[in-house]
A and B are shown apart, each in its own frame.
Chain A
């Protein structure tokens, strides 16, 4: 039937293809220029927007994508650890979705390397995110006349779960950095000095390269574990369900986030995470896969001390010996990578949803 089953491990192939040569010279890294333009189908994106904010897309109709990916927070989570679907917690920070459409690999551990359609499916169906049986979702959507019209206008015909998973990614394409001082060439002198450090002395560009400021590869930076993952059973149960599903050996006794290890099952990948984009960080604190660092100044301090402790830690991470002023400049540069808030109704669906499902009239006569 040509069904693509996306286990984490299919990603491996995708990632290995990325920049093999690791050299130290900044010039060899893809430049951190502005992002390319994406072509967007307006009607589909508009439909995706309504879906993204609609709680009826979760099993018990209590959470929408926006419950965890909050517009005010750059479409990232409010807390260090994301909330979970009711009755559950989560074990990771909810990633920012701004520019997610520019990535090729998703999730902190990079377990999805196909497309945003698969990513959307995972979010919808995973027990501790939305726990949605997509057959029920499809019938809910078909019961709402507003959707019936929007799907038709978008060229999808009758609403189906397949087109839900196409429309949401189309909407995600509209979440891109807008008017960042860095892209507009309007950086302060301090930010400009910070950019130099970024590419030079601080060596950030070795991993944070290209327009998205990420090599989309996995590295171990030694970020300390967030103990709330294990001390709060709601979070721990989601973690156990996840590691069980990923086939991680000894998952009941695991006391750390395995990161990229769950993709390769190679010991050397334990504790590696995908280099995140550095755009829109102004809104998306706290930082790192588990929200362990609260501010950008904190992140810079972390790198300055040679980052964290881990036997697998990247060789590239050494104490940087940045001065106080240099640290400020680096933070100024990171801040210059954030643009306008995407919180107007251009990006946020602000109209109310119906409080109940209208009955289809003449039910016995019309075809289902």
Chain B
């Protein structure tokens, strides 16, 4: 309960004062960190000299969370266990469903029961590589990401104490946590360690290597002629390489590419609720809360108005399995995505971002012919290899911690 109670008390006060202009300190710290990132982001905006696409190497492993087979196995159990969450219904795998690209195949992710999410569920495949996680880059590691996912009101809605208590009553977990982390009882932070270890093994490497990477490593047969033509467009006329570049197929920076707001917010009451909640949760001002009609993206962290509508350049590996696309899932096919870019960042109805001033100068009508669009599409398919599937592990059962005899003895000793 701790955190929720505390933040809630603050929120209660903030609401009572109807946002009396009091800015919580955590948000301030965040924006300081964010503005450091900003200058880095600006520097990386040069359209020329983008690092070329490169094959995916080994996932970085942080020194304070080494991978061991036992830890990965434990992380897998936890990833698939809905008891890591508020009402034991919604775990990581609930929204990162292996059969839906380890994501969720709707525009907005399904939410915690009684809610819907407000963003598209991202695939966890390759997430280990990204120094900034989430669509707007608000988490800096898998560990931090997992924690906020399990606790967020429209995601896991779990609290540390209850999740820790549950694990303590599941003998299999007690045994495994002790083996892996050496603690007598499972500790919640180690849950995030173990899940992150598992995620770091969920990559498009080895037998899941994508055709593009095979090609880049020298296997020229890995791409068709059409795909090679598409690659030229990607690197040239299409200008995709300006942002989708390097080993990760993303510059991991933030851009406004013109994605229009999801119309569901105009029609769906449940989505409207989450939309307003997120304005609070992301530390909006009163004015922002009242007026926001789309996801302001990176702005929530930097609080600079030129960041409204900016999102992290989405990585492109494994996207064959992760439709729909973009932070709000407005495009259901890669064809639509290509048409969107070809129109210079407009959908088929001519809609675009609510912050056109912030739109990247790199997003312009491309004048691609039908043949070129098909070639580009064929090339985008080269970013996905075999589907990564996995059998869901069985949930280890609960068992009472004490025997009846122990309880009776304690009663007698009172």
Residues of A within 8 A of B (CB): 1-5, 56, 58-62, 85-88, 121, 125-128, 131, 133-136, 138-140, 142-143, 160-162, 165, 222, 224-225, 227, 230-234, 236-238, 240-241, 244-245, 252, 255-256, 271, 309-312, 356-360, 363-364, 367-368
CB distance from A314 to the nearest CB of B (A): 14
B289 CB within 8 Å of chain A? yes
Please indicate the chain B residues that have their CB under 8 angstroms from the CB of A224 in the complex: 411
A236 to B54, CA, bound (A): 52
CB distance from A335 to the nearest CB of B (A): 31
Is there an interface contact between A233 and B169, defined as CB atoms closer than 8 Å?
A: yes
Is there an interface contact between A134 and B12, defined as CB atoms closer than 8 Å?
A: yes
Is there an interface contact between A128 and B9, defined as CB atoms closer than 8 Å?
A: no
Residues of B within 8 A of A (CB): 1-2, 4-6, 8-13, 15-18, 22, 83, 85-89, 112-115, 153-154, 157-159, 161-162, 164-166, 168-169, 185, 265-270, 272-277, 279-281, 289-293, 398-402, 404, 406-407, 410-411, 414
Is there an interface contact between B185 and A86, defined as CB atoms closer than 8 Å?
A: no
A233 to B166, CA, bound (A): 8
List 9 A–B pairs whose Cβ atoms lie within 8 Å, in order of A's numbering: A59-B113, A125-B8, A139-B276, A225-B411, A231-B404, A237-B168, A240-B164, A256-B411, A360-B272
Given A60-B89, A61-B113: A143 and B273 interface contact (C-beta under 8 Å)? yes
Give the interface SS of chain B, mostly helix, strand, loop or mixed.
helix
Given A135-B277, A363-B265: A88 and B89 interface contact (C-beta under 8 Å)? no
Please indicate the chain A residues that have their CB under 8 angstroms from the CB of B168 in the complex: 237, 240, 252
Q: Which of A60, A128, A237 makes the CB contact (< 8 A) with B169?
A: A237
Is there an interface contact between B269 and A238, defined as CB atoms closer than 8 Å?
A: no
Given A135-B153, A227-B404, A256-B414: A142 and B293 interface contact (C-beta under 8 Å)? no
Please indicate the chain A residues that have their CB under 8 angstroms from the CB of B86 in the complex: 59-60, 85, 87, 127, 131
Given A62-B114, A364-B266: A255 and B280 interface contact (C-beta under 8 Å)? no
Given A3-B9, A245-B2, A255-B410: A135 and B112 interface contact (C-beta under 8 Å)? no
Looking across the interface, which residue of chain B has its beta carbon closest to that of A165? B12
Please indicate the chain A residues that have their CB under 8 angstroms from the CB of B8 in the complex: 121, 125, 133-135
Please indicate the chain A residues that have their CB under 8 angstroms from the CB of B289 in the complex: 368
A225 to B398, CA, bound (A): 22
Which of B158, B290, B411 counts the most A-chain CB atoms under 10 A from its CB?
A: B411
Please indicate the chain A residues that have their CB under 8 angstroms from the CB of B165 in the complex: 236-238, 240-241, 244
Please indicate the chain B residues that have their CB under 8 angstroms from the CB of A240 in the complex: 161, 164-165, 168-169
Which of A1, A161, A357 counts the most B-chain CB atoms under 10 A from its CB?
A: A1
Please indicate the chain B residues that have their CB under 8 angstroms from the CB of A252 in the complex: 168, 185, 401
Please indicate the chain A residues that have their CB under 8 angstroms from the CB of B88 in the complex: 86-88
Q: Which of B1, B11, B83 makes the CB contact (< 8 A) with A87?
A: B83
A125 to B6, CA, bound (A): 11
Q: Which of A234, A256, A360, A367 makes the CB contact (< 8 A) with B269?
A: A360
Is there an interface contact between B166 and A359, defined as CB atoms closer than 8 Å?
A: no
Is there an interface contact between A125 and B291, defined as CB atoms closer than 8 Å?
A: no
A60 to B274, CA, bound (A): 13
A266 to B256, CA, bound (A): 59
New contact pairs (5) apart from A59-B157, A87-B87, A230-B401, CB-CB < 8 Å: A60-B114, A131-B157, A233-B169, A241-B162, A359-B267
A56 to B270, CA, bound (A): 12
Given A60-B112, A131-B159, A133-B157: A162 and B15 interface contact (C-beta under 8 Å)? yes
Q: Which of A126, A140, A359 makes the CB contact (< 8 A) with B268?
A: A359
CB distance from A235 to the nearest CB of B (A): 10
Given A61-B113, A237-B166: A245 and B161 interface contact (C-beta under 8 Å)? yes
Is there an interface contact between B398 and A367, defined as CB atoms closer than 8 Å?
A: no
Q: Which of A4, A5, A59, A367 makes the CB contact (< 8 A) with B114?
A: A59
Please indicate the chain B residues that have their CB under 8 angstroms from the CB of A131 in the complex: 86-87, 157, 159
Lowest 10 A-B CB distances belong to which pairs? A357-B269, A87-B88, A61-B114, A133-B153, A240-B165, A60-B113, A255-B410, A233-B398, A87-B87, A127-B162
CB distance from A161 to the nearest CB of B (A): 6
Is there an interface contact between A59 and B87, defined as CB atoms closer than 8 Å?
A: yes
Is there an interface contact between B89 and A255, defined as CB atoms closer than 8 Å?
A: no
Please indicate the chain A residues that have their CB under 8 angstroms from the CB of B277 in the complex: 133, 135-136, 139
CB distance from B77 to the nearest CB of A (A): 17
Please indicate the chain B residues that have their CB under 8 angstroms from the CB of A86 in the complex: 87-89
Given A62-B113, A136-B115, A136-B154: A142 and B12 interface contact (C-beta under 8 Å)? no
A233 to B401, CA, bound (A): 8
Is there an interface contact between A357 and B273, defined as CB atoms closer than 8 Å?
A: yes
A245 to B188, CA, bound (A): 14
CB distance from A247 to the nearest CB of B (A): 11
Is there an interface contact between A138 and B400, defined as CB atoms closer than 8 Å?
A: no
Is there an interface contact between B400 and A232, defined as CB atoms closer than 8 Å?
A: yes
CB distance from B282 to the nearest CB of A (A): 11
Is there an interface contact between B114 and A56, defined as CB atoms closer than 8 Å?
A: yes
